[in-house]
Amino acid sequence: MAGQRIDMMEIRALIRLKQKNLSNRKAAQALGVDRKTVDAYISRFKALDLSYEELSTLDEKDLLELFTVESQTEKERYEELAVEFEKLKRSLLPLDVLFSICMKNTLVKTLRVTAIRNSACIFATGWPKQSRAVN
């Protein structure tokens, strides 16, 4: 399954497999994960600019820190999105304006429905009845 996360033991195993110069496809098969998942981790390794030997010497805490949600890449993505959310927030109408637009539209629809119903009643019943002229 693409996009899945692998646990720390699998990350260490992936590092060992890459030290042995296995391809991403072969490493994925050996670990039983999708090739795209391995590709994503290898891209992450390259972005860290650390060799597989250096990665293999990291202790559990340091290695885990490289792959937590608070990682640098995630932080950068969050900061980029935060800027876009601020732009979106500024482009939205204030709540009171949205409410008044909704109320106006609801009132117009209600008046239209009422007028249609009244027209249907008048047509069906002939109301108001025309008075007959008395001779």
Considering only CA atoms, which of 53, 8, 52, 4 is closest in space to residue 28? 4
- Flag whether pLDDT at 15 surpasses 60: yes
CA neighbor of 8 nearest in space, from 46, 109, 108, 16: 16
Closest by CA position to 8, among listed 59, 53, 51, 78? 59
CA 94 to each of CA 40, 83, 88, 98, 108: distance values in angstroms, whole numbers, following the listed order: 41, 19, 12, 6, 22
Both tokens assigned to 39: 């590709």
Percent residues over pLDDT 70 in the chain: 76
Question: Dihedral of CA 112/116/117/119: which sign?
Answer: positive
The answer, yes or no, to whether residue 22 has pLDDT greater than 80, is yes
pLDDT averaged over every residue in the chain: 78
Give the span between the Cα atoms of 11 and 31, in whole angstroms. Answer: 9
Domain boundaries along the sequence of the chain: 8-88, 93-125
When pLDDT is averaged across residues 6-10 and rounded to a whole number, the result is 81
Residue 1 pLDDT exceeds 50? no
Provide the pLDDT for residue 122. Answer: 65
